[in-house]
Chain A
Amino acid sequence: MLNIGVLNQGIVIDHIKVGGAMKIYTYLDLENIDVSVAIIKNARSNKMGRKDIIKIEGTLNGINLDILGVLDHKITINIIENGEIIEKKNPTLPLHVENVLKCKNPRCITSIERGIPHSFRLTDKENGTYRCVYCEQSAK
C-alpha cells in the first residue's frame, strides 16, 4: 500500500469506487479550496479489491458530506482530529438533490430548457439509484 502519511486534522473519504475520486474532487471543488489533498487511485482493498481514497488535510466548512453519497453510496467518511478518527460514517442518502448530478439523457428537457435545475430523486435506497425528476432516467 502506498503511504501518504497520517492526517492530524481532516477528512478521509474511503472506499470510493475505482475511478470515482476525481468526480468527488471536482464536486467538492477541492482545486479552489486552501487544503492539502492526496488522491490515491486504484489502492488495494480487502473489501473491494481496488478502491480510490481522498485524504484532505484541513476543514471543509459548510459542506454537507452526505451529498457525496449521491456520487458514490458505498463510500466511508472518516473525520480525523488530533491524528485520531473521531467519527466514521456512511453518508445518509438525501431524498432529493439539485445540481449535483447532471441528466445525460439527450431526450430530456434539461438538455434544452434554460434556467431549470438538474433535479434527481432517490428511487432505490439499497442501490443508491437516483432518477431525473423530469425524464426518470437513472443517473447511473
Chain B
Amino acid sequence: MRHIISPNDLNLSELDELLNLAEDIIKDPKKYSEACHRKKLATLFYEPSTRTRLSFEAAMLNLGGSVLGFSSGDASSAAKGESVADTIRVISSYADICAIRHPKEGAPYVASLHSSIPIINAGDGGHNHPTQTFTDLLTIKNLKGRFENLTVGFCGDLKFGRTVHSLIVALSRYKNINFVLISPDELKVPQYIKDEVLNAQNIPYKELRSLEEAIPSLDILYMTRVQKERFFNEEDYIRLKDTYILNSKKLSLAKEDMLVLHPLPRVNEIAVEVDEDPRAVYFKQAQFGVYVRMALIILLLRESEGRPIC
C-alpha cells in the first residue's frame, strides 16, 4: 500500500508520471470524469482548511467519485479522545482513499501505519504538505516548461513555511537550480535545511533581506504569508507580518517571464494590483492543485489495485 506523507515519497520517475498525468487531465478533463466512479474519498480534517479540503473534494468529484468526512477536530470523534490510529482503522472500512490534515506533525504517518487504504497527507502542522508541493511543481512545469536551470526566490516566512521547505527539497533534485532566500533574520530558512539539503548537495543559494535586490535575477518568485497559527507569541507575529509586500513597483524590476507563485491564502503580502499582471499565476496555481490531486488519487487507487505508479 502506497501512502503520500512527504513530497519525497514519490521518486523522480513517479513524480514525472504524476505531473504528466495531471497535464493530460488539464488537456482533456472529460476523459477522466468517470475514472473513480463508485470510489469514495474520506477527508479527515482535524483543523480547518477550506481551500485544501475543497480542492481534494473537487478533485474526487471531477473524477466521478464521492466524498465523506469532517472539516474540524471538534466535529469528529477526536473531540471524544479517539486516537488517530483508531479513527483510521474505522475509516478504512468506509472509504477507498483518505486525505488527512492534522495540527500535529506526523499524524498522517501514524494513520498510514494503521490504514488499509492509501493515505494522503493534506498538511500536518508546520511539517509536510506534499500535495501543495506537487501543485507548485505542476505550476512550474506547465508554465515554465522545465525544472532545470532556474533561479528560484522564496520570500517571507521561510522559517515556519513548510511549503517553502518542501519545495526547496523537491527542486533540489533537479540540475542547475539556484535559490535566493529572502526574509528577515527572524524568519530565515532553518539551519538544518541549509546543512542537510543545500550544503550537502552543493546547491548554490544566497540569503538576502531585500526583495528589490533579489527580484531582477529570479525566474520564479515564491511568496509566502507570515502565518499567525505558526507563532507561539502574538507580538512576534504582529512585528513581522508585513515585512514583505510585493507591489507593481517591485514587480517592474523583475524579468518579463518571471512567475509569481503563492500557496494562498494571500493576506496583504501581494498587493491586489499585482493580480492583473500576467506573471501573477497564483490563482492558476490553485486550479492546478485540483488537477494534481486528481492525478494523485488516480495513481494511488490504481496502485492499491495492484498497478504500480510506474
Which residues in A have some Cβ–Cβ distance to B below 8 Å?
A: 105, 107-116, 123-124, 132-138
Contacts and interface: CB of A to CB of B under 8 A. Distances in A.
Contacts of B125: 107, 135
A116 B110 contact: yes
Interface SS majority for chain B: mixed
A112 B103 CA distance: 11
A116 B85 contact: yes
B95 interface: no
Contacts of A138: 192
14 contacts: A107-B105, A107-B125, A108-B105, A109-B84, A109-B105, A109-B110, A111-B104, A112-B104, A113-B84, A113-B104, A114-B83, A123-B196, A133-B106, A134-B107
A107 B104 contact: yes
Contacts of A136: 105, 127
Contact of A134 (B85, B105, B126, B196): B105
Contacts, number: 52
Contacts of B104: 107-109, 111-113
Interface string B104-131: 1111011000000000000011110000
A107 B110 contact: no
A113 B192 contact: no
B101 interface: no
B109 A124 contact: no
Contacts of A137: 105
Identify the 7 closest CB pairs spanning chains A and B, nearest first.
Answer: A134-B106, A135-B105, A109-B106, A109-B104, A109-B107, A135-B106, A107-B125
A135 B192 CA distance: 14
B83 A134 contact: no
Contacts of B84: 109, 113
